Structure 1
Amino acid sequence: MKQYIILVFLALGYSFNLEAQTLTAYFKEAAENNPGLQAKYKSFEASMQRVTQVNSLPDANLSFGYFISPVETRVGPQRAKFSLTQMIPWFGTLKVQEDVATLMAEAKYQEFLEAKNKLFYQISAAYYPLIELERLVEIEKENIGILSSYKDIASVKFQNGKGAMVDVLRVDIMLKDASTNLSILEQKEQPLETRFNKLLNRAENTTIVIEDSLSLVSLSSAYGKDTMLISNPLITELELKIQASKASEQVAIKQGLPKLGIGLDYVIVGQRTDMSVADNGKDVLMPMVSVSLPIFRGKYKAAEKEAQLMEASYSLQKEEVANRLTSSYEMIWFELQKQSELIFLYEEQIKESNQSLRLLLSSYGNSGKDFEEVLRMQQQVLKYQKMKASSLSDYYIKMAELDYITAKAK
């Protein structure tokens, strides 16, 4: 199959470098300017900030108390009290929280990569119809030129008494059809250009450089299929979320363990004036240790169960995405083979139809008869030329879709 596709496109004479360079430049511009893609990247950057947040100790508590009625002690009355307390989660809690946040941030990055790949596919799907349109316009203009020459021939034949006036009228009818088709094709250019330019987030009337040839593509029989379920960002994103769910379960377990607290109390003591004692008016400094008692276990068990259910959900989603990608691959591959065969067929049909057309023209030049058959064959050549242009566009759009689901690097 690989050799067959290469031969088809070599026969059609397509160039690799020009098209690749143009699309690569457009991909780069879109990656820098597309607001949807930028939003995905900002979301990833925001999720990275979460890592620092969950890896930090909770805020320390500082409290101050003033004794309205001083508490008398041996060394003097207590006037005021400062307390500083820092709670510390159970050993390893911060680490697993950091792991969860890191994995979810990595999943966000895979979401960004998926958006980038999809954007590049959309750009390709908007680019190739522009090439197709340009080719269709050329074909229609060539057709109008040929029909105009046929009209001149038919007019001369009629004037010489070797042809019928109906032949001239037939060409007139076909010329009007061709002119209308050309007008419609030219009107189609603006919406296609607008769609393409907006993907790059630029003015809708910005000039688009369209190459007049497509790249030579060689495909193996299992192009990207062996790595598709490994490299696709959708699969990787869900795998990271599965790992994050497992880590979240550990977070729930850790949070259900006691939290340790260390603190320091500082009491301001006034001096006694009624008598002299040792350490008179000496302030009090008292270290403290506390432990939280997670007696009510319901919320911790619910958090564990939530993590387990999310893990199961992500696993099922991963399986569903894998099935969808596999079926999409097979359908896209079928379409590529189909379009390749059609392109080869149209090339042969164009060649044979042109040969028949030359014979019919020669016969008409001698006899002045069967002009209708000449026109019919000309329209057949036109039909195959247009179908070939459309098949080429469809082929490369499907090629871009295959690159999208197999996450081929751009």
Structure 2
Amino acid sequence: MKMNLKMPFLGMLIFLIFGMASEVKAQTLSEYLRIAAENNPEVKAAYSDFEAAMQEVPQVKSLPDPNLTMTAFGSMVETRLGPQEARFSLMQMFPWFGTLSAKADVATLMAEAKFQEFLDARNELFFQVSEQYYKLYELEQSLVFQRDNLEILQNYKDLALSRVRAGSGALSDVLQVDLMRNDAETNLEILQLKKQPLLAKFNALLNREKLQPVIIPVELDIAIDPQLIAEVAVENNPKLAQLEKMSESAQAQKEVAKKSGMPMVGLGLDYVIVGKRTDMVVEDNGRDAIMPMLSVSLPIFRKKYKAAQKQAEFMAESYSQRKVGVENRLKAEMEEALFQVQQARAMLNLYEKQVESSNQVLNLLLSSYKNAASDFEEVLRVRQELLKYQLAVAGAEAELLTAVAKINYLTGKSFEYENEN
């Protein structure tokens, strides 16, 4: 079994490098996502976990270190060729055939699981950044509508004052406008205060200063690709791929347990330094002795090896069951996200129609009021209705785009947004 992690590693490296120069002029969501991928500490930590897991592979596939033993005889052992002065023994143990490759498979699969964990952390970060981005978009739209509302109310006040001066209007109309302007000014102030925590959370995801400006487009393209809704399978979600790799790793660990229950063979060499005899002359006097050695481990205590195999089987089953549970949860979340898309799209269509109708009614009322034929209070009421629907449009747009981002996250798709103008 051979696993290749070079391609995803290189692809991710290119992805990260590509975003290094984006921060200065970032204006689109895609660029903010690249900044987040490069700077977010949790994503960087997940990638370091993957790199650390990769370093396990060369460790487990290496042979155990050889043993060198050196012995000096305090009381020399006399032999026919002379006294033994010192002994050197070198031994290298070799695991059973296939043991090292099986261990490498386990480590490689665990590293691939770590890479999937990294991808999930990155995708979850992208969803969080997108969600905050759309909240900021909704806030900016609301600020625009509230400022426009203040300006329009001031125009209404001027109109009411002109009617009062002409003797055809009531002072109460002016006071009613003032009441609405006070409410509008307070709402605008609250929205401006709300911006600070939203900026802080958004910039925290990008690991930047909390109040660093975020540039939001005036409009976002909310057209939904029908293909996105048609392809809502969650099978490519990195969470599932991670558990699949962990299950495969546990199955490979069972093979390691089997191999570990086989004998280990050791090959060695024994070298004895022999001194020369001085009391007599013999053939090969003082010749050193060289002896090859063979060592075999005897794994006779079988319970631990059987237990290790059972443990691996249970772990593989555990990961398989977890995968089923996660898949069920992701499918349920997908159904909810699809409902949110449909609901937001329906409400957005409704609010846009209401804005159009309210504008028509308001224009008619204003024209009638200028001719002293309608109640000013009704003008103000419709104006507030129009503002309510304008704010609702911004909220529905943000909900729709957030739901689409959630679908992208659940399906494990890359976050390549084309929503910005």
Q: TM-score normalised by the shorter chain: which range applies? A: over 0.9
Question: 8 Å contact 1:157–1:368 — kept in the other structure?
Answer: no
Alignment RMSD? 1.4
The question of 1:331 aligning with 2:357 is answered no
Segment drifting more, 105-114 vs 365-374? 365-374
The question of 1:377 aligning with 2:382 is answered yes
Q: TM-score, normalised by structure 1?
A: 0.92
SS where residue 230 of structure 2 aligns? coil
For residues 99-130 of structure 1, give each alpha carbon's deviation from its aligned partner in whole angstroms, at most 9, with x where no partner exists.
Answer: 00010001110011101111111110111111
For residues 212-251 of structure 1, give each alpha carbon's deviation from its aligned partner in whole angstroms, at most 9, with x where no partner exists.
Answer: 111233223743324x21x211111111111111100000
Q: TM-score, normalised by structure 2?
A: 0.90
The question of 1:78 aligning with 2:73 is answered no
Question: 8 Å contact 2:27–2:214 — kept in the other structure?
Answer: no
SS where residue 268 of structure 1 aligns? strand
2-structure distance, mates of 1:355, 1:27: 41
For residues 149-184 of structure 1, give each alpha carbon's deviation from its aligned partner in whole angstroms, at most 9, with x where no partner exists.
Answer: 111111222233322221111111100000011111
2-structure distance, mates of 1:407, 1:307: 29
The question of 1:29 aligning with 2:10 is answered no
Question: 8 Å contact 1:117–1:404 — kept in the other structure?
Answer: yes
Question: 8 Å contact 2:232–2:407 — kept in the other structure?
Answer: no
Query: Which residue of 2 is the match for residue 131 of structure 1?
Result: 137
Question: 8 Å contact 1:350–1:381 — kept in the other structure?
Answer: yes
Counterpart code for 1:73 = T
Aligned counterpart in structure 1 of residue 411 of structure 2, from 372, 386, 406: 406
SS where residue 305 of structure 1 aligns? helix
Question: 8 Å contact 2:361–2:382 — kept in the other structure?
Answer: yes
2-structure distance, mates of 1:223, 1:168: 54
Counterpart code for 2:230 = Y
CA drift at 1:354: 1.0
SS where residue 115 of structure 1 aligns? helix
Counterpart code for 1:217 = I
The question of 1:111 aligning with 2:105 is answered no
Counterpart code for 1:323 = N
For residues 345-402 of structure 1, give each alpha carbon's deviation from its aligned partner in whole angstroms, at most 9, with x where no partner exists.
Answer: 1111011111111111122222264111110000000000000001101111111111
2-structure distance, mates of 1:250, 1:94: 11
The question of 1:224 aligning with 2:225 is answered no
Q: Which runs of 5+ in 1 are unaligned?
A: 1-19
2-structure distance, mates of 1:366, 1:126: 47
The question of 1:121 aligning with 2:127 is answered yes
Query: Which residue of 2 is the match for residue 191 of structure 1?
Result: 197
Query: Which residue of 1 is the match for residue 353 of structure 2?
Result: 348
Counterpart code for 2:151 = G
User: Once superposed, which parts of structure 1, at least 4 consecutive aligned residues long, lie more than 4 Å away?
Assistant: none
Query: Which residue of 2 is the match for residue 360 of structure 1?
Result: 365
2-structure distance, mates of 1:354, 1:211: 25
1:161-310 correspondence runs (5 A): 161-215=167-221, 216-220=223-227, 222-226=229-233, 228-229=234-235, 231-310=236-315
SS where residue 157 of structure 2 aligns? helix
Question: 8 Å contact 2:365–2:374 — kept in the other structure?
Answer: no
